[in-house]
Amino acid sequence: MMKSSFQPPHRILMGPGPSPVHPRVLEALARPTIGHLDPEFIRLMDDIKSGLRDVFRTENEFTLPISGPGSAGQEACVVNLLEPGDTFVACVNGVFGERMALMAERAGAIVLRLAQPWGRGVDPEALREMLKAHPETKLVGFVHAETSTGALSDAKTLAAVARENDCLVLMDTVTSLGGVQVEVDDWGIDACYSGTQKCLSCPPGLSPVTFGPKARVAITGRKTPVRSWFLDMNLLIPYWGSSAKRSYHHTAPVNALYGLHEALLLVAEEGLPQRWERHLRVHRAMVAGIEAMGLRMAVPAAERLPSLNTVEVPAGVDEAMVRRQLLDQYSLEIGAGLGPMAGKIWRIGLMGEGCTEHNLMLLLDALGQTLADAGVKVDRAGARAAVEA
């Protein structure tokens, strides 16, 4: 029974997403709705496509936001690139690599999983061997930034290995785009998707995607229709195309796109390299603080994802109780582990607007106090000093 307006609490969002949204983006969401066929809306679309090309670092014409969350963009890439019977190698080092495999199975592909340890980047040598054994592979998929574990993979090398074997390359950048260096064209990525609610600091609900020339040929030259009408790029491209040849598909989420436009403008104002540098700087301070406190990072130093930091839960600590206390007492959200890492790690986001020294200090203070209250010996002063250094 609906009785009154929903007034959300003010949270400090330091989980795996959504991340904090800039007031300018929130304000943009509330601008008056216009029609999706309005000439002004076409101007909005053009701006967004251009802004997305900038953050993806690509010249790809086929660059646009899918009208659904990251998993819609993920499925859009999978179902457009794969036809029944195609061979797909999925690099699985966490929840989201496995999800790619599951989607490909539903698309009728033959799916080969390159199983990798959770909490580590994907090993390019293992991929090379897999592809040698399976020269029929059409597409290789991997997750650049595994949100479920906090591991960053060497995307450039993985893409090179795939291309040496004449495979198309699909990359998940949900938790890297706009916060960690992504170079779609330079790395030779054929298709890439992301979400808006991580390092772009938009609300969830849109999924930027980009397709390069080889992916485009694979999509326009399919022998079978894409299994999803809603996600068929052959229908979406003309909808997002230039006004002269634009055709109707669905009704785009107008107000959400106002928000994405403003968020992309904020990225452009800060500068992409500056933004990557900020994420790296705050991440390094976080590692210093966490380790000075006496806690341990879950991922080896060389494979850590700056935007999503996984911290091992100290022995004997009820991790859910800690998260609940952080939420109740500090209105601060952090995330739990998923799958085999459930109960063993916390996932702490330093993404987009939320990636600041101020938020980090708050997190360390709140986590330190909560652990101390639970009887865990932590060096809170040491953590603070390490961050300030």
Closest CA to 113 of 143, 83, 84: 143
Q: How many chain residues are in contact with its own copies, going by CB under 8 A?
A: 86
Site for its own copies in 34-73 (CB under 8 A): 34-41, 43-44, 47, 50-51, 54, 67-72
* Cα distance between residue 179 and residue 196, in whole Å: 12
Helix or strand run (H / E) with residue 63: strand 62-66
Taking the least distance from each CB to its own copies, the nearer of 154 and 262 is 262
Closest CA to 193 of 208, 205, 181: 208
Among 251, 271, 274, 284, indicate the residue that binds its own copies (CB under 8 A).
251
Site for its own copies in 223-242 (CB under 8 A): 225-231
169 binds its own copies (CB under 8 A): no
Pick the stretch among 24-32, 132-140, 182-190, 305-313 that binds its own copies (CB under 8 A): 24-32
Work out how close the CB of 39 gets to its own copies at its nearest, in angstroms, rounded to a whole number: 8
258 binds its own copies (CB under 8 A): yes
* Cα distance between residue 200 and residue 25, in whole Å: 11
Taking the least distance from each CB to its own copies, the nearer of 68 and 121 is 68
* Cα distance between residue 158 and residue 155, in whole Å: 5
- Six token digits for residue 134: 């399976």
Among 172, 262, 312, 319, indicate the residue that binds its own copies (CB under 8 A).
262
Q: Kindly give the pairing relationship between strand 191-193 and strand 335-336.
A: unpaired
* Cα distance between residue 97 and residue 157, in whole Å: 17
Among 179, 212, 259, 289, indicate the residue that binds its own copies (CB under 8 A).
259
Closest CA to 146 of 180, 191, 113: 180
Q: State CA 375 to chain mean position distance.
A: 35
Taking the least distance from each CB to its own copies, the nearer of 72 and 159 is 72
Q: State CA 352 to chain mean position distance.
A: 11
333 binds its own copies (CB under 8 A): yes
10 binds its own copies (CB under 8 A): yes
Among 97, 178, 195, 337, indicate the residue that binds its own copies (CB under 8 A).
195
Among 57, 58, 62, 75, indicate the residue that binds its own copies (CB under 8 A).
75
